[in-house]
Copies of this chain bind each other. A is one copy, B any other.
Amino acid sequence: MSEISRNGAGASGQPGRIGIGLELDAVHMKILEVLRENGRISVSALAERVGISRANAYTRFEALRADGAIKRFTAEIDHVRTGLGITALIFVTVRQQMWKQFRAELARMPEVEYCAITTGQHDAMIQVRMSDVAEVHAMVTDRLANIPAVKATETVFILDEVLRRPYVLPSDRDKARPVRRAAQEASGDVPLGKMRFVGAAEGRAALRKDG
């Protein structure tokens, strides 16, 4: 039931701007880099890996937590082992003016792992974990369908989760190696034709107001 930070694609605050609080320097970033890989590392070991003193590491660690740059520490669990081996994505079309109700209902659905409001054909995407396909069907038809705010849904199943990185950082960008296709790069010939961007549906501008 954790409300997480708004991304605000254009609307709220400049992206890239570090919040009102702490100014994050290179050392802070390095700390985050270590912590996202190993959330249980001791602060002493962290200090060593980052190359700062223990006291400094404690100060920064606490500052990052207090500031909210680190939201929480969590254990990644193997859902297949715990009996929730089926994952589905449900794309939801929400009746305008009923966002508030939609969000309230979401809070009552603990089997929902993730929910994001998106541009494009649908309004929201929710990810659920279930023990079998029938349960997904029941969830969609019995629970979601009974929410007046839900106008329509479209469900797809996840066949394989190829990767999940423990939270991306800007420093990752530098590690990116562009695909080497000499001929294409030389001519600047990028096949734009096969790409498609989908903007927000009509009426979505009022999202924040009634959400």
The answer to whether B163 touches A112 (Cβ under 8 A) is yes
For chain A, the count of residues having a C-beta within 8 Å of the partner chain is 129
Q: Which of A17-31 contact B (CB under 8 A)?
A: 17-19, 21-22, 24, 29
Interface of A is mostly: mixed
**Cβ of A59 under 8 Å from chain B:** no
Q: Does A187 contact B (CB under 8 A)?
A: no
With A6-B160, A75-B39, A157-B118 known to touch, is A81 a contact of B18 (CB < 8 Å)?
A: yes
Binary contact track A64-82/B, C-beta < 8 Å → 1, others 0: 0001111111111111111
A172 touching B110, Cβ below 8 Å: yes
Chain B's nearest CB lies how many Å from the CB of A10?
7
Smallest CB-CB separation from A42: which chain B residue? Answer: B40
CA distance A159 to B195 in the complex (A): 20
A191–B163 alpha-carbon span in the complex (Å): 36
Specify which of B9, B75, B114 is in contact with A165 (CB 8 Å cutoff): B114
Known: A24-B81, A74-B37, A178-B143. Contact between A161 and B4, CB under 8 A?
yes
Q: Is A50 an interface residue (CB 8 A)?
A: no
Tell yes or no: A209 within 8 A of B by CB: no
A168 touches B113 (CB 8 A): yes
